[in-house]
Amino acid sequence: MHISLENRVALITGGSQGLGKAMAERFAASGADVVLLARRQALLDEVSASIAKQTGKKIRGYSCDVSDIAQIEATWKLVQAEFGKVDILVNNAGASARHPIDTLSIDKLQADFDMKVKSALRLVQLAVPSMKAQKWGRIINVVNIGAKAPAAGTAPTTMSRAAGIAMTKVMAGEFAPENILVNALCVGQIMSEQWVGYHQRDNPDMPFDEYVAMRGKPLPMGRIGQAEEFANVACFLASDAASYVTGVAINVDGGLSPVP
């Protein structure tokens, strides 16, 4: 299936590495201009230049702490001045946070929701008016499979990610008449820069490739997923090929989640 995002502008938070970078590469390869939001400007500049060279598309990175609403709003003005619109919004920012629930502080809970829920809501509010005006838009909220089947010890992340699925469903119902489609992608075990940290924490003496293979063996498909595989699903949802798909939370996890 040929997927085209020509004449579309995509904005991806958490876009400088991992899943965000992979989605940016896939979207640009399919014809989109791409806006990347993350904290480190130097890394954003490096990634943007690399993708632009590979694809010939317009790629820009903006330093923005999306947990800060004032920074989101200021950055949005810069994006609008340079690109004029955002057709595709991917709320991808956020890292895993785990803490025993009986000692989880309100501050840590609030910080997690600020990063993963409040930021997504504000970006949607900023993006939707122009999407409504053109009767076309795509919003993808990246969550994880724990949002559907939370395990002990996974707060606050699974709490905020479950809220992300609920928010997706609400938005999908409200925006469907305007042809703005809203879906969530639930991440399983997908290779990213975080795995370097896992390796150093768990078994630094084992070669990295062997460590990744060992971690992948218990999974239904027997391996860790690749960021490019996740990006392919996101690209489909961002395109006209997914014109009748909205309000769903799709697992991209190789069959790991017990909840479909």
CATH number at residue 67: 3.40.50.720
Copy the structure tokens of residue 55. 């694809």
Does 165 share its domain with 212?
no
61-103 pLDDT per residue, tens: 999 999 999 999 999 999 999 999 999 999 999 888 999 999 9
Instruction: For residue 66, give the amino acid letter.
Output: V
Q: Which domain holds residue 214?
A: 192-224
Shared domain for 182 and 164, answered yes or no, is: yes
3-state secondary structure of 119: helix
Is 260 a member of any domain? no
The radius of gyration computed from the CA coordinates of the chain, to the nearest angstrom, equals 18
Q: Which residue do the tokens 């239904």 mark?
A: 220
Residues 108 and 172 grouped into a single domain: yes
- Whether residue 186 lies inside any domain: the answer is yes
Check whether residue 14 and residue 54 sit in a common domain.
yes
The total number of residues shown for the chain amounts to 260
- At 56-72, the pLDDT tens digits run 999 999 999 999 999 99
Number of domains within the chain: 2
Clarify whether residues 150 and 136 are in a common domain: yes
Residue 1 token pair: 């299936």
- How far is it, in rounded angstroms, from Cα 182 to Cα 180? 7
Do 79 and 202 fall within a single domain? no
Structure tokens at 124: 């949607």
Whether residues 120 and 46 share a domain: the answer is: yes
pLDDT of residue 95: 84
- Round to whole Å and give the CA distance between 109 and 99: 10
Closest C-alpha to 169, from 158, 179, 184 = 184
Do 142 and 212 have their domain in common? no
Whether 259 is covered by a domain: the verdict is: no
CA gap 221, 68 in Å, rounded: 39
